[in-house]
Structure 1
Amino acid sequence: MWRFRRRGLLATGSAVLAELTLPLRALSQSIGRAGSHEGDKTVTSPLVRLRLMETSDLHMFVYAWDYYRAREDNSVGLVRVASLIRAARAEARNSLLFDNGDIVQGNPLGDYLALPGRMKKTGGHPMFRAMSQLGYDAATFGNHEFNYGLPFLDEALRSADFPFVCANAEHPDGTPLVPRSVVLDRNVADETGQIHRLRVGVIGFLPPQIVTWDAMHLTGRVRTTDIVEAARQYVPELRTRCDLLVALCHSGISAAPRQGNEENAALYLAEVPGIDVVFTGHAHQVFPGPDYEGLPGVDAKAGTLAGKPAVMPGFWGSHLGVIDLKLRREVSGWTLEGFHSEVRPIYMRESGNVMPLAQDDALTAAVALPAHKATIAWMAQPVGATSMPLNTYFTFLQPDPCLALVNAAQIGYTRPILAHSDAASLPILSAAAPFNAGGMSPDAFVDIPAGPLTMRDLANIYTFANTISVVRCTGAEVKEWLERSAIIFNRIVPGLAAPQKLLAPGLPAYNFDVIAGVTYAIDVTQPPRYTPDGVLVAPDAHRIADLRFNGKPVDPKQSFAVVTNNYRAGGGGHFPGTGSDHMVLTAPDGNRDAVIRYVAGQKIVNPSVAPVWRFAKPPLATTVFIEVPAAASHVVHNDTLHRLGDGTNDLVRYALTLA
């Protein structure tokens, strides 16, 4: 059993606000009213204003610091959110603070602390110590809490002076990993200063897919259940012990028809009776706000899911989520008169620059400083060298040397291991996707000149703490895998005079897998065959053409061993050919570790930029464009790309003519 100690929108930077007056329905399932009458005398029920605050997906960004470029980053950091937290507390008489998971992993500081003995040297886990100092009231787990294994998480949690709750993950014997819920017994002051007792129930949920995404750490140790089913099982009993019920849901928002075991189940969770407030996350989006406009059951302006107040505060400390509740104390219980939701950003973009809207909180900054400095030094260690520049500016237009390096390293790591397995006879392919290619923020790209390669450089190329996995796929499944990858492109109309935007909006770069070992063409004039959820929607569409292995068309029935990471192998991203039934190998080493070993062994790398993939030629010449930072100009060294002009958010458009 893990231990814990208890204590008694980006483009403009403007906050998104919402206020709604709800029917006077008691939170404890009774009906109340704003006042009562005794003869001719009206007795007004006390009004309590309660502020609930949320962070989510902090991913170890304690500081406003970019470890990959060794410079300040005004768009991230708990030290900046901490200033917003203190300001928000000063505005409210009563407040509670929660975190929604994905805390311990996500940047080099997290990786450094996961090295043997490092956490002990830094006096415990600095993120949890910083959160304890800030006075968090409760938190739940995200999927990335398990990336370093259960013993690491157990040790880290000893630094958390606040409870963790999780209702849908448990040991094989059915005992919960941590308490499924907790009731916070708080004294709150009404508008006149009178004190009342308020019991706040808190229950937590995480994506049930953790058992496949982190199978190496969790198989035989942890089992999970569907988020909604767990809520239906445990919310009713919790409801009897509390006046207000808050759900911490490390899960995104989807309005697709419910199938069960969803990764993004926050909307369906909000429909469960007895839940009053939903804090959501995991998707790295902002809610309320335009990210979720138009979804049934979602009010992206008022900030409601199934009519209940909800927020999602971005990622890496970009926002603080705030929900203000108006609670009326009745004889029959508490009633909810209304609420006000907002997300408060720590920065705004102005003329291409990131302008801070919050300053470092000194107390938070002091907690983790030794580990922060040690991580910076660790990241500066040399590993090897590259004979050519490594960058991801044009990864969607032409061969990417960074992906070529990762794929070469993955194959080099896996080949000798598979040689002594049942998969020894299978041809080996390798799948890799770009992480820093403009997806997380407009200026998040890899740009490494020829010369020395440090730990910082390689961590920039391979950001996440994934572990190597191998799946067995048929040739037909490899083709469908690539079809799912190719949905990142818009459908292009051949022959239009005006250049057309190549990339579809809102799709993450880390789902653009390039599979080395085969060659293929991508026909962007075809509609996408799959949805982002992996649903086949255009069975007659085929973007992948001329798929070849060793120069010959791929036999749909031929089997391959495809090296990838644990997230993809376990079904992350909904790619055909993945999942537990396809698993051949779950390795103990990380993908980034394989890259580090490969570079150290080679001493000087020269990643092949042979065309693994290419665009199929349309019937008429057609120009497509992408948007990248102006800094990309120094790596354009061929005649196929040309600058088209200025784009959005101070980016520059580069065009490629398909002919």
Structure 2
Amino acid sequence: MRPGYGHTLRYLGAARGAITRRQPIFPTCYGDALQGSPVADITADPQSGWTGVHPAILAMNCLAYDAATLGNHEFNFGLPWLTRMLSAARHPVTCANLKLTCGRFLPPYLLLDRMIRSHDGEKHPIRIGIIGLVPPQVTSWDHLHLGDRLISEDMVKASRELVPRIREEGADLIVALAHTGIDTGPAHPFMENAALQIAAVPGVDALLAGHSHQIFPDSTVPGTDGGAVDSAIGTLSGTPAVMAGFGGSHLGILDLALRRHHGHWTITGHRSEARPVTSMKTGIAAAPDAEISRALTKTHAATLRLTRRPIGHSPAPLHSYLAMVGDSAALRLVNAAQHEAMAELLRGTAHENLPILSATAPFKAGGRGGPGHYTDIPAGPLKLRHAADLYIFPNTLCGLQITGALLRDWLERAASCFNRIGPDARGVPLLNPEMPSHDFDVISGLTYRIDLSQPARHAPGGALASPGATRIRDLRHAGKPVRASDVFILATNSYRAYGGGGYPDLPDTERIHTGKTQVRDVLVRHIRSRSQVAPPAGVTWSFASQPGASAILETGPGVRRHAAELAALGATDLGGGSGGFVRLHLPFDGPLASRGNDN
């Protein structure tokens, strides 16, 4: 879901069945390339002073991309900004399942005429059809920017309607650039992660997936029953496919062996690979491309000038290494900023006397992002880049009116990120890898415990899995039990306010504030207004005690710089884990589960 990753679709020499030579035909990049880092986000900041071409577009132009589609984050700054950024691209952009209310937004598909050389040196024409797809939820997630200007359609439905038309227009090969992940659950309309279903559409010959930060093929992940997901040969629903992680972690490569017979092309074999940019053996990343580095020199300099601006001071480190096992000062700081801003907004309104709560999540907490994907800010001066690290998305601040019953279910959704750990469990992985950390909301203004002896109420995608499950215990506000009929104002971000991450999509009447101020700006203002930041003390949440039970948390190696916090949790360092992570042993009958248990 983050910017900068790409894929290359290549063809192996064809004609007469001979496979002798690899020929790059068209590299493709798609989805979430234009937002997600300071060097990209300065293009949407009027005060940054940057007025040039978007740096990601500059890089794509250097690489001579042939086609692209969009991701959901491309819409974070609105359509006028997106239109300006795309105007500098030297390659066409397609999107099949989004339309303007008054017409077509982008071409629904592309037809690329190319030449391919066979083993005997003879050139042959080939017409490649490209269809681009984006999660239909984008019109909800960025409703504040998009309003009623865009209409979204189901990705699978759009594919089924358009693929036959693309074939009728002479496409020899159809490739889906699908900004969507792999969901092995039951199919349903308007799926967010529909790669399996799109790959199964008749006529789709290859698929480049994304959005969910997964890597495919991945030899460490077993295939599904029935072979719908086959990592061994790199197919989804029998179709060659690849997904290249996120944040520039991998290059997705799809090699296709083609045979031409009586004027028609057929795929006779393929090889799918998600190639790491950083060597797993040496830890050394690929060398920067000299041409791209030169093209981005001015952008890089402008970004450094902007992000090095001082905004405050923190007497203590702010990090996310342990944000999934208890209160994090980094999250408390964001929640405090949201709470303060919402209180100001509600002053003098009909809602000013309602209790205000604040929700945020650890956006950088390892997982599919790897052992370096953590917030890690040392004590001392805070700069603008630190605010961007604490809050990496350009979401805006929203206020929701919610009941105690909905609040409890909201927390149950968050607590579904953990595996079930019974009283006798030993060394069970704490986190469900299918649910990313940015879906784990922590709500300040409350105290509560999470009982992992119970099953998760929600599946990773948000659907109800065990409706009767109750992991949230001792839920209190101001020391009193929260009743189902209690009413609160919840300060949160626009993505969550419109149902992002599988959370409730409330009716408009319950969204009492839907402003356009970015949470990151709210955070910067909060920090600047103080001589030094001091996140509220106290314990918001802890795990319920389970004598004899324990879990394993994989986190970044930087956690070893915080020995006092590890000791406070009763954690034992078990050494290195998979992929460079550090493994911590966490007992559920020690300090981990005793903090805040006097609530």
2:219 corresponds to 1:219: no
Aligned residue in 1 for 2:191: 262
Aligned residue in 2 for 1:108: 38
Aligned residue in 2 for 1:347: 278
- Higher relative contact order, chain-length normalized (CA < 8 Å, sep 6+): 1
TM-score, reference length from structure 1: 0.82
1:143 Cα deviation (Å)? Answer: 0.3
Long gaps (5+) in structure 1 = 1-14, 21-33, 35-44, 51-90
Provide closer, same or farther for how the CA distance between residues 274 and 562 of structure 1 changes in structure 2, counting only shifts above 3 A. Answer: same
Which has the larger displacement, 533-542 or 134-143? 533-542
Aligned residue in 1 for 2:559: 632
Provide closer, same or farther for how the CA distance between residues 237 and 49 of structure 1 changes in structure 2, counting only shifts above 3 A. Answer: farther
Of the candidates 177, 186, 190, which is equivalent to residue 118 of structure 2? Answer: 190
2:268 corresponds to 1:337: yes
Contact 2:498 2:504 in 1 (8 A): no
1:437 Cα deviation (Å)? Answer: 2.2
Aligned residue in 2 for 1:479: 408
- Across the two proteins, how many residue pairs are aligned to each other? 574
2:433 corresponds to 1:505: yes
1:504 and 1:148 mapped to 2: Cα distance?
Answer: 32
Aligned residue in 2 for 1:418: 346
Provide closer, same or farther for how the CA distance between residues 176 and 369 of structure 1 changes in structure 2, counting only shifts above 3 A. Answer: same
Percent identical residues = 39
What are the equivalent positions in structure 2 for 1:9-24 lying under 5 Å apart?
none
Aligned residue in 2 for 1:40: none
1:365-417, CA deviations, whole angstroms, 9 ceiling, x for partnerless residues? 11111111221232111101123322222222332111110001001111222
SS of residue in 1 equivalent to 2:373: coil
AA paired with 1:313?
A
2:236 corresponds to 1:325: no
What are the equivalent positions in structure 2 for 1:383-422 lying under 5 Å apart?
383-421=311-349
- After TM superposition, which residue ranges in structure 1, 4 or more long, deviate above 4 angstroms? 45-50, 117-120, 577-582
Contact 1:627 1:654 in 2 (8 A): no
AA paired with 2:288?
D
Provide closer, same or farther for how the CA distance between residues 314 and 593 of structure 1 changes in structure 2, counting only shifts above 3 A. Answer: same
Contact 2:429 2:553 in 1 (8 A): yes
2:36 corresponds to 1:97: no
Of the candidates 142, 147, 151, which is equivalent to residue 80 of structure 2? Answer: 151
What are the equivalent positions in structure 2 for 1:192-591 lying under 5 Å apart?
192-241=120-169, 242-290=171-219, 293-295=222-224, 296=226, 297-331=228-262, 333-350=264-281, 354-356=283-285, 358-421=286-349, 423-439=351-367, 440-495=369-424, 498-576=426-504, 578=506, 582-591=510-519
What are the equivalent positions in structure 2 for 1:63-74 lying under 5 Å apart?
none
AA paired with 1:519?
T
Provide closer, same or farther for how the CA distance between residues 98 and 420 of structure 1 changes in structure 2, counting only shifts above 3 A. Answer: farther
2:437 and 2:384 mapped to 1: Cα distance?
Answer: 22
1:120 and 1:617 mapped to 2: Cα distance?
Answer: 53
Contact 1:270 1:278 in 2 (8 A): yes
AA paired with 2:32?
D
Long gaps (5+) in structure 2 = 1-6, 591-599
1:293 Cα deviation (Å)? Answer: 2.9
Provide closer, same or farther for how the CA distance between residues 625 and 289 of structure 1 changes in structure 2, counting only shifts above 3 A. Answer: closer
AA paired with 1:483?
E
1:128-162, CA deviations, whole angstroms, 9 ceiling, x for partnerless residues? 12211211110000001011111111111122000
Of the candidates 519, 524, 534, which is equivalent to residue 606 of structure 1? Answer: 534
AA paired with 1:165?
T
SS of residue in 1 equivalent to 2:84: helix
2:49 and 2:59 mapped to 1: Cα distance?
Answer: 14
Provide closer, same or farther for how the CA distance between residues 335 and 436 of structure 1 changes in structure 2, counting only shifts above 3 A. Answer: closer
Aligned residue in 2 for 1:37: none
Contact 2:40 2:54 in 1 (8 A): no
1:409 and 1:348 mapped to 2: Cα distance?
Answer: 40
Provide closer, same or farther for how the CA distance between residues 240 and 500 of structure 1 changes in structure 2, counting only shifts above 3 A. Answer: closer
Contact 2:250 2:277 in 1 (8 A): yes
Contact 1:480 1:576 in 2 (8 A): no
1:419 Cα deviation (Å)? Answer: 3.2
Contact 1:207 1:262 in 2 (8 A): yes
TM-score, reference length from structure 2: 0.90
2:572 corresponds to 1:643: yes
1:283-308, CA deviations, whole angstroms, 9 ceiling, x for partnerless residues? 11111124653334222211112211
Contact 1:164 1:178 in 2 (8 A): yes
1:591-643, CA deviations, whole angstroms, 9 ceiling, x for partnerless residues? 1111101001123111113111122223x354444233444344333544343
SS of residue in 2 equivalent to 1:604: coil
1:197-228, CA deviations, whole angstroms, 9 ceiling, x for partnerless residues? 21111111101011111111111211111001
Contact 2:552 2:586 in 1 (8 A): yes
2:484 and 2:268 mapped to 1: Cα distance?
Answer: 61
Of the candidates 60, 78, 87, which is equivalent to residue 131 of structure 1? Answer: 60
